[in-house]
């Protein structure tokens, strides 16, 4: 864990989680300093980000509607630096593809400190990504996670070709193919466009994987403290269609 992350844990405002939850996180391997427990009473740097899961999703989708219409807000990056230097409380986490055409902060018209973004080609939940999202939920109080796929995804397309042809891709790409393969296998007998079907199924499978990721995300989901949803970003329109 980098120094800035440790500093974030130490000084992050942790307004709504109990000391017991922090202790559990420490047991899981994160160094929680006594100062972090004292920070429990601090006000979050972005009070407007303290939202219910439903309100967080509503805010995301309203931001996407502005982005689609080309009426995104002007963000005051300068004046938010000072409050964000003391902590963070993003209102949503997004697991997105690494594709350069997908930019979660742009497509949801949000500013710094609003989204906790994890990106990997094919937007699948590796162990590292699950751990990152656990941090967002348990330490930063993030109430919403969105798995965000997109149409014409090259990672999913490459996986389809590899599965169909039985070819081994070079370098580390086989690891990526192995992660996306279950979605491709699941739709191989479906009618319609195989790439679109696999992209959709990949999002749904990873939403389910996160919902059942014990003990942290599963517990927060079953207690309805967070929501985990899936969406598909449309390259031509910029619109995000919800799947779940």
Residues that bind Zn ion in the complex, under the rule CB under 5 A: 97, 99, 153, 155
Supply the minimum distance, in Å, between the C-beta of residue 101 and Zn ion.
8
Supply the minimum distance, in Å, between the C-beta of residue 159 and Zn ion.
11
Written as six digits, the tokens of 75 are 């963000």
Written as six digits, the tokens of 90 are 């993003």
CA distance 63 to 72: 8
Supply the minimum distance, in Å, between the C-beta of residue 164 and Zn ion.
18
Which residues, 6+ apart, have CB-to-CB distance to 120 below 8 Å?
95, 97, 98, 126, 129
Nearer to Zn ion, 150 or 209 (CB): 150
Nearer to Zn ion, 99 or 109 (CB): 99
Residue carrying structure tokens 């429990």: 40
Written as six digits, the tokens of 158 are 């490459």
Nearer to Zn ion, 17 or 119 (CB): 119
Adjacent-strand bridge partners of 126: none
CA distance 191 to 149: 20
Supply the minimum distance, in Å, between the C-beta of residue 34 and Zn ion.
43
16 SS3 class? coil
Supply the minimum distance, in Å, between the C-beta of residue 35 and Zn ion.
40
CA distance 228 to 222: 11
Nearer to Zn ion, 84 or 117 (CB): 117
13 SS3 class? coil
Nearer to Zn ion, 97 or 129 (CB): 97
CA distance 198 to 151: 10
45 DSSP assignment: S
Supply the minimum distance, in Å, between the C-beta of residue 126 and Zn ion.
15
CA distance 90 to 117: 10
CA distance 192 to 45: 47
Supply the minimum distance, in Å, between the C-beta of residue 176 and Zn ion.
10
Nearer to Zn ion, 83 or 182 (CB): 182
Nearer to Zn ion, 84 or 121 (CB): 121
């Amino acid at each position: 864990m980098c120094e800035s992350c440790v500093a974030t844990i130490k000084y992050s405002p942790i307004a709504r989680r109990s000391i017991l939850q922090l202790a559990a996180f420490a047991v899981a391997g994160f160094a929680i300093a006594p100062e972090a427990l004292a920070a429990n009473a601090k006000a979050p740097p972005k009070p407007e980000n303290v939202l219910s899961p439903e309100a967080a999703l509503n805010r995301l989708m309203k931001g996407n509607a502005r982005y689609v219409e080309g009426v995104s807000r002007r963000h005051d990056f300068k004046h938010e630096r000072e409050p964000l230097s003391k902590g963070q409380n993003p209102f949503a986490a997004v697991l997105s593809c690494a594709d350069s055409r997908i930019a979660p902060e742009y497509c949801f018209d949000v500013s710094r400190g609003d989204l906790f973004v994890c990106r990997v080609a094919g937007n699948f939940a590796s162990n590292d990504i699950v751990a990152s999202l656990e941090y967002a939920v348990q330490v930063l109080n993030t109430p919403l996670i969105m798995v965000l796929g997109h149409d014409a995804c090259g990672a999913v397309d490459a996986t389809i070709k590899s599965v169909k042809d039985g070819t081994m891709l070079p370098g580390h790409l086989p690891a990526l193919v192995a992660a996306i393969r279950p979605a491709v296998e699941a739709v191989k007998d479906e009618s319609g466009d195989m790439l679109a079907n696999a992209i959709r199924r990949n999002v749904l499978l990873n939403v389910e994987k996160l919902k059942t990721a014990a003990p942290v995300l599963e517990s927060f989901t079953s207690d309805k403290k967070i929501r985990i949803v899936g969406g598909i970003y449309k390259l031509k329109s910029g619109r995000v269609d919800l799947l779940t």
